[in-house]
Amino acid sequence: MFEFQILAKDPRSKARRGLFSTPHGQIETPIFMPVGTLGSVKGLAPEELEKAHAQIILANTYHLYLRPGHELIARMGGLHRWINWPYPILTDSGGFQVFSLGAGSKKGGNKVKISDEGVEFKSHLDGSRHYLTPEKTVEIEHALGADIIMALDECAPHDSDKNYARQAMERTHRWAEKCQKRHLELEKDKNLPLHPAQALFPIIQGTVYDDLRIESAQFIKNLDTPGIAIGGLSVGEERAVMNHVLEILEPHYPANKPRYLMGVGTPLDLLEGIERGIDMFDCVHATRIARHGCFYNATGRHHIANEKFATDPLPLAPEDPQNPTTKFSRSYIRHLVKENEMLGIRLLSINNLYFLLKLMEETRLSISSGNFIDFKELTLKNFHDIT
């Protein structure tokens, strides 16, 4: 289980095509993973995700822990059964949300308190106080039952000074060791409900400092887990900085393990990451911009509220007749969005996820044929809005 096969490598870049086996199916890489924060990719039913060729989705440990609680989900048979998704699932550790949301409710609260033992925070829902340790994180993720689970990490701000960046990185390493130890204990515990095997991915940190990033990559590599993740990028730093970090990290990854770049999902960032050896990506971007009226097609990112679309009979992505939204015109979808009809946002969301998943499918083919760089350049040539 959790075998990763490298099927092809691009001769002019670090791009590679692979196949990662999990208890709920195989994942073709490079892959974009739609985010279902609360156990649902916003606005889409499972069958719509299937039709868009989603192979794996994400759920958020922080949010599901707070409500409805991992114990309830476990009693309902685990996350796969509860949300009616029979394919692979990844749960993050909740660490990013703890640090970004854990200062308290909307009415305010104390700041997050961090120690080597764990992190104390307040729920953004009701201000209730919680304490999350590496061990508890793994226990929650085991109860949820995802195929891939993430180790708890501290995502230091990208503009942290080097001293704090090192402290956060070293704490992340200690937490990763604790997560791995508890994960192995739970897998051997015969008194617990039997779940399919789970793959623990620890996370490389170090913000924007080359030596810290390399040190972190080497530490994480030595844990010898089924895969690794890269965190603390796409959090405010310039795109060129992120690409530089990925370039200096690439020689230090384990060669035969999947590499997951967390929280990245624009078309340009996907292609840039793949060129630098990344296999897996996730981001809320595609559905979030849909809720703001934006859609992707081969010519870029567009806003449906633009007046030119009022009488436009074309579908959102006319270049792709297989896109599920093809039967609807831009004019009609614009009308739906202007009138706050839910169907409009749903159609934009379906289109955007389909576009990104189709982009990944075409990327895999280009790697196998040895012309990924040409494919990337052609794809971006007419893409007028690369954000």
Q: Is residue 10 part of a domain?
A: no
Do both 258 and 151 map to the same domain?
A: yes
Do both 144 and 185 map to the same domain?
A: yes
- Give the C-alpha separation, 339 to 354, whole Å: 24
CA distances to 92, 122, 174, 200, 313 from 97, rounded to whole Å, are 10, 11, 20, 19, 42
- Give the C-alpha separation, 51 to 350, whole Å: 10
CA distances to 50, 170, 178, 263, 378 from 254, rounded to whole Å, are 31, 20, 21, 21, 31
Of 283, 310, 338, which residue constitutes the final position of a domain? 283
Do both 269 and 327 map to the same domain?
A: no
Do both 88 and 184 map to the same domain?
A: yes
| Confidence (pTM) | 0.96
Nearest to 372 by CA among 355, 385, 359: 359
Do both 233 and 97 map to the same domain?
A: yes
Q: Is residue 235 part of a domain?
A: yes
Do both 224 and 242 map to the same domain?
A: yes
Q: Is residue 160 part of a domain?
A: yes
Of 253, 283, 313, which residue constitutes the final position of a domain? 283
Do both 267 and 299 map to the same domain?
A: no
Do both 266 and 319 map to the same domain?
A: no
Do both 309 and 363 map to the same domain?
A: yes
Q: Is residue 363 part of a domain?
A: yes
Q: Is residue 18 part of a domain?
A: no
Query: What residues have CB less than 8 Å from 296, skipping those under 6 apart?
Result: 267, 286, 302, 317, 351, 352, 355, 356
Do both 217 and 295 map to the same domain?
A: no
**Residue 261, beta-bridge partner list:** 230, 281
Residue ranges, the chain, pLDDT below 70? 103-110, 190, 194, 385-387
Q: Is residue 345 part of a domain?
A: yes
189 is catalytic: no
Number of domains in the chain: 2
Options 92, 147, 153, 269, the catalytic residue: 92
CA distances to 171, 178, 252 from 222, rounded to whole Å, are 16, 14, 11
Q: What is the pLDDT of residue 99?
A: 83
Q: What separation, in Å, do the N-terminal and C-terminal C-alpha atoms of the chain show?
A: 37
- Give the C-alpha separation, 363 to 224, whole Å: 28
282 is catalytic: yes
- Residue 162: both structure tokens together: 């080097």
Nearest to 116 by CA among 162, 62, 178, 65: 178
Nearest to 319 by CA among 349, 359, 281: 359
Options 126, 189, 282, 320, the catalytic residue: 282
**Residue 386, beta-bridge partner list:** none
CA distances to 113, 134, 251 from 154, rounded to whole Å, are 12, 11, 24
Q: What is the pLDDT of residue 387?
A: 47
Tokens 């789970």 — which residue?
198
Q: Is residue 248 part of a domain?
A: yes
Do both 47 and 157 map to the same domain?
A: yes
The domain spanning residue 50 has which CATH number?
Answer: 3.20.20.105
Name the residue type at position 206. Answer: G
Q: Is residue 62 part of a domain?
A: yes
Do both 232 and 202 map to the same domain?
A: yes
Q: What is the pLDDT of residue 95?
A: 86
Of 283, 315, 334, which residue constitutes the final position of a domain? 283
Domain that holds residue 134: 31-283
- Model pLDDT for residues 284-299, shown as the tens digit of each residue: 999 999 999 999 999 9
